[in-house]
Amino acid sequence: MKNNLEKIRKERNIKQEELADALEVSRQTIGSLENGRYNPSILLAFKIARYFGMNIEDIFIYEDEKDED
Amino acid sequence: MNKKYQAIVYTFLIVTGIILFTVGFTILSPEEYSRMSGVFIGIGIGLAVMSFSLLLTLILNSRLPDDIKKIKEIEVNDERNALIREKSGYKTCIAMSYVLCIFIIAIGLMGADLEIILMAIAVLAIQFILIIYYSNKYSKTL
């Protein structure tokens, strides 16, 4: 699953550490999310969307597994 | 489990360990009950040292500054870290099953006593029973 997290975060001049603190996750988790190595739980996805005042679909882009190949 | 209760349990375990160690050394003199004395001393030392280290960790953690405590709490509760712990635990369990199988075959080939081989097989059986138990439990609750 792709996401626009890094782009949105940088647009708002927020550091990874600040975002991690606000979401109560580790900075490594934010890094992994931005790199697409880790897909968040639905709970964390909602927290991220709420933090930025956006919809989940605006941040995370669902792709069929066939499309990802 | 709250920290006060944890501290009481660890203290109780330390005292139990010391008592077992003392009994192993004094009442069960090594000449008369050498095997029993060894078991008491071994369990006593293990229990006391393990409980003492857990109690010490608990005390040191409670004295940490609030900001460090919060960072530690985040690290423990972080969902990615939890997933890493679960995955690494599962992989370790699978690897240990193979290691135990090889160990059982090896001690069998080395001509170990049947009791020892059966004990090793029991460890493997307990592992499989636990896997089935927890798989059933979590398939119902998750």
pLDDT per residue as tens, chain B (142 positions): 678 899 999 999 999 999 999 888 787 666 666 777 888 889 999 999 999 999 999 998 888 888 888 888 898 899 999 999 999 999 999 999 999 999 999 999 999 899 999 999 999 999 999 999 999 999 998 8
Point out which residues pair with B44 in neighbouring strands.
none
pTM of structure: 0.72
Could you tell me if the ipTM is greater than 0.90? no
Give the A:B interface size as CB pairs under 8 Å.
24
Angstrom CA distances, B80 to B13, B55, B102, stand at 34, 28, 33
Amino acid at B15: V
Question: How many angstroms separate the most distant Cα atoms in chain B?
Answer: 58
Q: CA-to-CA distance for B131 and B126, rounded, in angstroms?
A: 9
Cβ separation of A26 and B79 shorter than 8 Å?
no
Asked if B77 and B88 touch (Cβ cutoff 8 Å), the reply is no
Tell me what the pLDDT averaged over chain A comes to: 90
Cβ separation of B80 and A32 shorter than 8 Å?
yes
Minimum-distance CB partner of B74 among A25, A41, A43: A25
Point out which residues pair with A60 in neighbouring strands.
A3
